[in-house]
Amino acid sequence: MNDKESSAKKGYRWLFLIPFVAMLWVPFYASGTPVLGGFPFFYWYMLLWVVLTGILSLILYSLGA
């Protein structure tokens, strides 16, 4: 892996902006519906993003970012 490839792979890290937008744009998820398994939207949306962010990290790791 040369430096150019390495820095191209580092570029994948910008994908981490997605969870930041998803979490910090609060009006998008501050609602109670739809309910899932008894959990209001606000709660299961956050739990979902715990998992999605972990998966994103795994993908970036395997891409060599």
Name the site residues for other proteins (rule: CB under 8 A). Answer: 1, 6, 9, 13, 16, 19-20, 23-27, 30-32, 35, 37-40, 42-43, 46-47, 49-51, 53-58, 60-64
- If the CB atoms of residues 1 and 4 are measured against other proteins, the closer one turns out to be 1
Cβ 5 to other proteins shortest distance, Å: 8
Q: Measured between alpha carbons, how far apart are the two ends of the chain, in Å? A: 12
Cβ 47 to other proteins shortest distance, Å: 6
Contacts of 64 (CB under 8 A, 6+ apart): 1, 6, 9
* Residue 43 parent element (H or E): helix 41-62
